[in-house]
Structure 1
């Protein structure tokens, strides 16, 4: 049984801000999304731009193949020289059925890379089962367990796989947020996005075919189609009656990169069952256009900006310390937002005590936009402050006077003195009585 040796995904994003800002809670697009669930994230910042039913249980259809492809990349060292023979039972499972295939025949020999092309481009169901059978040591059921476990490792909490291709099974489900995590990991794997962005792939001759070629199902990448949108690259389409139209993609424009998940868009078919439109593509294009036209990364606080001041104790010649921001803060915000729109909330002690060195962190400032925290920046002292020895001695004396043990000592001493006085009074009274009752000679 093969050991799982998962490769680490490459980091594809550069984080520009100190905390993620979920603008979806504050901003909504000026149009309706037909899909049942959606998730749009800026990959440069990690900001969630839009979400709809992000945690709702959904049927992913052929988006399932993304996880199958991830495991193929991670478990196979040489995709080009690893060959797999299509078993008869897999071919028979899909033969004559109205499901998408890559026309891979029983006994046909394909490389693992070719099978990945078949899954991501042609959405070939038999290719997914061939990969699952091979990597699952002859057990597709075991492979689907591997798929679910890998999803959990990626942070997915609402995903379960029961097959490698996505044909309907009520126990094969995911969420828009989970599918984002899966897709984000996928595009970090070297070579994954290149395959997912290919529109035409010439397989050539095999031991069965004289010539074999595949075309992408992603019409947003195909010039001349009504859905073509140049910024889009990859990743995967999916369609089932039970799932509706599903689509996961990335898009890049003017230095901004996004990943969009759309699940459960309504089917658009004529009376003969032929597709006359694709709401998943329409929703995706609208979301991307809105994001590119609306949001930009802005500097909301410069490093070294004077922010506030705080009372300073025991220092020479001053009783306040000015505080400044220790770092630059930027965030993805709507274009009309200006730094003056940000509300500052402070997390500071009541005072600080000398000595203080310039650059010492004193507290933090939270940046609030539209009622939500978009980040926080440490606040540091703008200068150094020496301690006054006179003030320090007086402060120590005051602390001693106000301490519990000093108060306890004073009370104990007063009580002892009072007890001694009372004792002396009683003793003297007894002496006087003794003298007055002594007989005279």
Structure 2
């Protein structure tokens, strides 16, 4: 909504108290060993660092993030799944969860087997179950089911904006036409991390699947060393995500971390075994040291109290204005302290010094809104700017009804009424005086 407005002078500098260890000059971007890498803020998707992020790469087992996402989105987490001949399609040399044909296990536990030990057998079992469920055909053969699931994967990737991604299997085992980019993987990871269950799974160091019934049951350990405290690569702020390796893809890692309300996702593709850990830590360190997450305003947050003029007796003499929408975002640490907030009031509703007079203006804080006002009415905007560039604006909403003073109790009306009464009184008095003079004149006798 646009206004002919006056900028009420409430340009407030937003003061940001930097958290320990995050202040200081912006560091240089990290030097990564990975051939392709990207760092994004998880909530907004803002790119904070990129290196050949749009270059086609082999993703290896980081593919399984999309398999897990589809499982959560389209499956029944408590369904008891029977492991079938689809696991015979798993390539030799694959990482396994150690499932066997005929085993039974819930989809919930299968996802742990997919993401922690990176079980390709779990990937194929999940894929076959979801394809048969989605198609409504429980008799789909294993190859047919996998084909249906791959179509589901590619369709979901495209819907998420991963336009340079093409998958041929649920596990990421090498194929020439199974490819993606670091940027596309960040989109898939970001969507996956919206789900609390996936966040729980990828942050779990060790897991015992109680629902698994079979001959080779075991516990699983997460391959992501960033979340294991008893190793040299442990990263306290790490929250996940997924490792990957093939000879052609090299060592890969999608990592996530959270610190001081800032959630980051880092993607590192085709690096060395040690390099994937050091690259991930360097990217996360860079993000936490140089960026901050700010909630500038919340929806329905009280923004400003404005005085009211022309309100009826018993009505409030001031009203609170709240923001119609909220806004939060990631900002460079060096920019955070320069964000300004400005309140703009609709000039058509405004009473200022010129109309109120000096005394009234001083009493009412230099300006006031004129009744009537309705709860939910838009009377202005709150704006946030950085270096003269508008970041966000939200309508300002009145929080209470304010009835106007009846016309006959307004100052002009009362003035007319009083003047009228005085005039009538004067005419009446004059008439009485004339009548008395007439009565007392000579020759008038009763």
Normalising by the residue count of structure 1, what TM-score does the alignment of the two structures yield?
A: 0.61
CA distance in 1, matches of 2:119, 2:390: 43
CA distance in 1, matches of 2:332, 2:267: 21
Unaligned runs of 5+ in 1: 1-15, 17-26, 268-276, 305-325, 345-353, 381-441
Checking the alignment, whether the CA contact within 8 Å between 1:102 and 1:214 is kept in structure 2 is: yes
Checking the alignment, whether the CA contact within 8 Å between 1:81 and 1:111 is kept in structure 2 is: yes
Deviates more, 1:165-174 or 1:103-112: 103-112
CA distance in 2, matches of 1:41, 1:182: 12
Deviates more, 1:31-40 or 1:121-130: 31-40
> 1:51 corresponds to which residue?
50
SS at match of 2:209: strand
SS at match of 1:278: helix
> 2:224 corresponds to which residue?
218
1:25-73: CA deviations, max 9, x gaps? xx77443011122221223554322122222212111011111111111
Seen in structure 2, the aligned counterparts of structure 1 residues 204 and 376 have a Cα distance that, compared at 3 Å, is closer
Checking the alignment, whether the CA contact within 8 Å between 1:235 and 1:248 is kept in structure 2 is: yes
CA distance in 2, matches of 1:294, 1:129: 41
Out of 280, 289, 296, the position equivalent to 1:293 is 289
CA distance in 2, matches of 1:202, 1:379: 51
Checking the alignment, whether the CA contact within 8 Å between 1:91 and 1:105 is kept in structure 2 is: no
Checking the alignment, whether the CA contact within 8 Å between 2:254 and 2:266 is kept in structure 1 is: yes
> 1:413 corresponds to which residue?
none
CA RMSD of aligned residues (A): 3.8
> 1:65 corresponds to which residue?
64
2:102 equivalent to 1:98: no
CA distance in 1, matches of 2:293, 2:194: 23
Out of 156, 162, 174, the position equivalent to 1:168 is 174
Checking the alignment, whether the CA contact within 8 Å between 2:38 and 2:266 is kept in structure 1 is: yes
Query: 5 Å matches for 1:388-403?
Result: none
SS at match of 1:212: coil
May I ask how many residue pairs the two structures share in their alignment? 313
> 2:241 corresponds to which residue?
235
SS at match of 1:41: strand
Checking the alignment, whether the CA contact within 8 Å between 1:61 and 1:165 is kept in structure 2 is: yes
> 2:356 corresponds to which residue?
none
Higher relative contact order (CA 8 A, sep 6+): 2
Question: How much does 1:163 deviate?
Answer: 0.5
CA distance in 2, matches of 1:363, 1:201: 49
Checking the alignment, whether the CA contact within 8 Å between 1:204 and 1:211 is kept in structure 2 is: no
> 1:282 corresponds to which residue?
278
CA distance in 2, matches of 1:374, 1:39: 27
Question: How much does 1:364 deviate?
Answer: 8.3
Seen in structure 2, the aligned counterparts of structure 1 residues 209 and 224 have a Cα distance that, compared at 3 Å, is same
> 1:198 corresponds to which residue?
204
Checking the alignment, whether the CA contact within 8 Å between 2:381 and 2:393 is kept in structure 1 is: no
2:331 equivalent to 1:333: yes
Question: How much does 1:242 deviate?
Answer: 1.4
CA distance in 1, matches of 2:32, 2:287: 14
CA distance in 1, matches of 2:331, 2:382: 25
> 2:39 corresponds to which residue?
40
Checking the alignment, whether the CA contact within 8 Å between 1:368 and 1:375 is kept in structure 2 is: no
Checking the alignment, whether the CA contact within 8 Å between 1:58 and 1:263 is kept in structure 2 is: yes
Query: 5 Å matches for 1:170-189?
Result: 170-189=176-195
1:249-302: CA deviations, max 9, x gaps? 2211122221222222x22xxxxxxxxx4211111111111222222346999x
SS at match of 1:136: helix
> 2:84 corresponds to which residue?
86
SS at match of 1:203: coil
Checking the alignment, whether the CA contact within 8 Å between 1:91 and 1:104 is kept in structure 2 is: no
1:56-98: CA deviations, max 9, x gaps? 2121110111111111112222x233322231x523644xx32
SS at match of 2:40: strand
> 2:30 corresponds to which residue?
31
Seen in structure 2, the aligned counterparts of structure 1 residues 233 and 329 have a Cα distance that, compared at 3 Å, is closer
Seen in structure 2, the aligned counterparts of structure 1 residues 191 and 339 have a Cα distance that, compared at 3 Å, is closer
Query: 5 Å matches for 1:414-425?
Result: none
Seen in structure 2, the aligned counterparts of structure 1 residues 99 and 294 have a Cα distance that, compared at 3 Å, is same
> 1:136 corresponds to which residue?
131
CA distance in 2, matches of 1:203, 1:262: 30
CA distance in 1, matches of 2:327, 2:39: 23
Seen in structure 2, the aligned counterparts of structure 1 residues 74 and 331 have a Cα distance that, compared at 3 Å, is closer
> 2:105 corresponds to which residue?
110
Unaligned runs of 5+ in 2: 1-13, 15-25, 133-140, 298-302, 305-322, 342-346, 351-368, 370-377, 397-446
Deviates more, 1:173-182 or 1:221-230: 173-182
Checking the alignment, whether the CA contact within 8 Å between 1:300 and 1:338 is kept in structure 2 is: no
> 1:397 corresponds to which residue?
none
